[in-house]
Amino acid sequence: MLNPTLAARVMDSLLPESLFTKAGRMAAVFSKTLFFCSMTFVSMANDSPPTLESRMSHVQSFADLDLVASELAKGPVLPTDPLPQSLAEMTYDQHRMIRFRPERSFWLDEKRPYWLQTFHRGFVHKDQVQLYLLESLGLGVATQNSVRPRLVEFDKAHFKYEGDLKAGDLPADLGYAGVRFIGFFPGNPQYSEVASFVGASYFRAHSEKTVWGSSARGLAINCGLPKAEEFPVFRAFYVQQPKPGDLSLTFLALLDSESVAGAYQFVMTPGVQATTFDVTARLHFRKVPEKLGIAPLTSMWMWGDALAGPKGDHRPEVHDADGLLMKGGDGQWASRSFYRQNYPSLVRYPFEKLAGFGVIQRDRNSAHYKDDEARYSERPSVWIEPQVPWEKGALELLELPAEHEGIDNVATWWVPDQKPVVGQPLDLKYRVSFFAGDPPEHQQAKVIAVDLVRENPKKFVFRIDLSGARLAEANPEKVNLELISIRCAITSQRIEKVSDQQWVLHLVAEPTGEGPLELIARLSDEGQPLTERWSYLCPLEAPPVVLPPWRVQQNQQETSR
């Protein structure tokens, strides 16, 4: 457990708020300088290096945090204080009864564009997270030498305990599980929860035009292997105090796991159309993992195109995203429509250069979901864009069987061919964007729907709907269909023009093997791609689908009325 050090408390006492007046700024600078000089003298006299706790309590910049991560990687992973039994055995509903008091939000009364709230530990949120506020010393523009890290110690008064759990039964040093960011979208005076970081290295966000949906992670280790996955954890956050009028919020995060320690910097910019995170990270490895998953994304696909829902559920589609989108370094686009397999399915897409990838919620028609509560049509796409294209590696897509929509069963990440090296830091720079639909730069015609009829075990009839402005300029009778079929034979193929910008590709496939059918298709005209390269993995039999527990309960309540 990492507690505030005496040194941090001494610094607070040396720099009282009265020193931050205009007349006393020079005194504040002198006092702060004197403090660090005295700390250096004591350290030299005792000939003992600063402790990890001391280093963490003095982080003011990404460079400072990187030094902490570098030192941390030389030793074992940080332990987490075990949860009290009452919290560890909580159900989801019981944990929801612990609510943060909005009036206790940090920076709420300071007329700043962002303020913070914390998550309570319990249920699946077992990791202990520390929160530091990088607050200005009143010396003008915030720089490394003009901010003071302030540890936000756990305080039961921040929460309202509405269930059976009593605040008095909890330890005073319980710590937090994560942090949520409250702010304003441009031009909107109404505040909103913009993003949250809770659980391992998971985070999610939304734009003003979208709601919560797919999520991102800081890092994935040994993912998609026949062994337990290693989940790196954001152990501490350092949030830079925003100034009135700031459009972006900058914060740091310390990542730690058995294999790696790392420093992350996030610059979050909420937007009407897109909310973005500009990420800078440096990773220090304790050991070389079997697989490194960079910029992982997590989503859910339960049923929809080509797979009907269970009896008793009227919703045509249930998913956070309907496909994986990829952009190569050559500017070409590829997509993969999701489908829930009967087994854990892992597919690799090699790239010489990768310019971007993401989980895309392309279907925005609410009538296709018929769920006013879940609002699946408004869920965001999440797009990863490296600052410079990542070279030589593969995108991996993991699709898992799952019983109901409460389980995330889709994940994707970038795996570089080159393994990390112990003692050599790995630098990453990329942007994570949350927005509606496709990236604006994707101008090729797209697959907007897939339908499948299994007429018999030897006849699978596919309908692939295409849409895009480029189709209006082409003749369906003269375009070239690039088609690859795996574990099946194509017995019929036809392109139908529905309208200038709406075409349909009709395919009939006959399975030839025991595994799932795989299709890859693209239309081109005079050597130039008209459409994205589309791929699909289809099992021989439709996987089982069941009603989620809350839907069963809801149906029972409606029947008893």
DSSP character string of 395-407: EEEEE---SSTTS
Per-residue pLDDT at 22 exceeds 90: no
Tabulate helix, strand, coil % of the chain (nearest 5). Answer: 20, 45, 40
> Rounded mean pLDDT of 536-550?
88
- Residue 561 and residue 431: Cα distance in Å, rounded? 50
Which pLDDT belongs to residue 489? 98
DSSP secondary structure string, 248-268? -EEEEEEEE-SSEEEEEEEEE
Q: Any idea which residue has 């269909």 for tokens?
A: 481
Which pLDDT belongs to residue 13? 29
Q: Which one, of 317, 254, 213, lies nearest residue 61 by Cα?
A: 254
H-run or E-run covering 6: helix 6-14
- Residue 509 and residue 248: Cα distance in Å, rounded? 51
Binned at pLDDT 50, 70 and 90, residue 49 comes out as: low
Binned at pLDDT 50, 70 and 90, residue 27 comes out as: very low
User: Quick one: CATH architecture of 443-531?
Assistant: Sandwich (2.60)
Strands 233-240 and 130-136: parallel
Per-residue pLDDT at 379 exceeds 80: yes
Q: What is the pLDDT of residues 218-231, one digit of tens each?
A: 999 999 999 999 99
Give the 3-state secondary structure of residue 555. Answer: helix
Binned at pLDDT 50, 70 and 90, residue 138 comes out as: low
The conformational region for residue 375 under phi > 0 = left, psi -120 to 50 = alpha, else beta, is left
- Residue 113 and residue 501: Cα distance in Å, rounded? 43
Which pLDDT belongs to residue 111? 85
Alpha-helix runs per DSSP H in 47-91: 52-57, 62-72, 85-88
Binned at pLDDT 50, 70 and 90, residue 205 comes out as: very high
Which pLDDT belongs to residue 44? 36
Binned at pLDDT 50, 70 and 90, residue 143 comes out as: low
Which pLDDT belongs to residue 21? 33
- Residue 132 and residue 111: Cα distance in Å, rounded? 20
Q: How far are the Cα atoms of 172, 234, 254, 424 from residue 129, in angstroms, in the given order?
A: 14, 7, 10, 27
> Rounded mean pLDDT of 6-23?
30
Binned at pLDDT 50, 70 and 90, residue 145 comes out as: low
Structure tokens at 362: 């392309």
Binned at pLDDT 50, 70 and 90, residue 58 comes out as: very high
> Rounded mean pLDDT of 54-66?
93
Which pLDDT belongs to residue 556? 78
Binned at pLDDT 50, 70 and 90, residue 135 comes out as: very high
Which pLDDT belongs to residue 140? 43
Binned at pLDDT 50, 70 and 90, residue 136 comes out as: confident
The angle, 0 to 180 degrees and rounded to 10, between the axes of the packed helices 6-14 and 25-46 is 150
Higher pLDDT, 115 or 78: 115
Per-residue pLDDT at 139 exceeds 90: no
CATH class of 59-289: mainly beta
Name the β-bridge partners of 524: 480, 529
8 Å CB contact between 61 and 259: no
> Rounded mean pLDDT of 506-534?
96
Burial 79-108 (b: 16+ CB within 10 A, else e): ebeebeeebeebeeebbebbebeeeebbbe
Q: Hey, which bits of 186-329 come out as E strands?
A: 191-198, 202-205, 215-217, 219-221, 233-240, 249-256, 260-269, 274-285, 292-299, 301-303, 318-319, 323-328
> Rounded mean pLDDT of 297-302?
98
Which pLDDT belongs to residue 186? 94
Binned at pLDDT 50, 70 and 90, residue 253 comes out as: very high
Q: Which one, of 126, 131, 115, lies nearest residue 249 by Cα?
A: 115
- Residue 465 and residue 160: Cα distance in Å, rounded? 51
Per-residue pLDDT at 557 exceeds 90: no
Which pLDDT belongs to residue 558? 72
Are 59-289 and 443-531 in the same CATH fold?
A: no
Q: What is the chain's alpha carbon radius of gyration, rounded to the nearest angstrom?
A: 26
Mean pLDDT, the chain, whole residue set: 89
> Rounded mean pLDDT of 480-500?
97
Which pLDDT belongs to residue 545? 83
Binned at pLDDT 50, 70 and 90, residue 350 comes out as: very high
Binned at pLDDT 50, 70 and 90, residue 555 comes out as: confident
Least confident residue range of 50-54, 117-121, 163-167: 50-54
> Rounded mean pLDDT of 478-493?
97
- Residue 295 and residue 215: Cα distance in Å, rounded? 11
> Rounded mean pLDDT of 530-555?
88
Which pLDDT belongs to residue 462? 99
Q: Hey, which bits of 400-516 come out as E strands?
A: 410-416, 426-435, 446-456, 459-467, 480-486, 488-499, 502-511
**How far, rounded to the nearest angstrom, does the alpha carbon of residue 384 sit from its chain's CA centroid?**
10
Q: What is the pLDDT of residues 98-127, one digit of tens each?
A: 999 999 999 998 889 999 999 999 999 999
Q: What is the pLDDT of residues 431-454, one digit of tens each?
A: 999 999 999 999 999 999 999 999
8 Å CB contact between 58 and 67: no
Higher pLDDT, 426 or 32: 426
Which pLDDT belongs to residue 38? 35
State what percent of residues in the chain have pLDDT above 70.
Answer: 89
Q: How far are the Cα atoms of 517, 538, 541 from residue 511, in angstroms, in the given order?
A: 7, 10, 11
Domain boundaries, the chain: 1-58, 59-289, 443-531
Per-residue pLDDT at 367 exceeds 60: yes
What is the pTM for the complete model shown? 0.89
Q: How far are the Cα atoms of 119, 304, 322, 328, 332 from residue 352, in angstroms, in the given order?
A: 41, 33, 26, 8, 12
Per-residue pLDDT at 17 exceeds 50: no
Per-residue pLDDT at 548 exceeds 80: no
Per-residue pLDDT at 40 exceeds 70: no
> What is the number of residues in the chain?
561
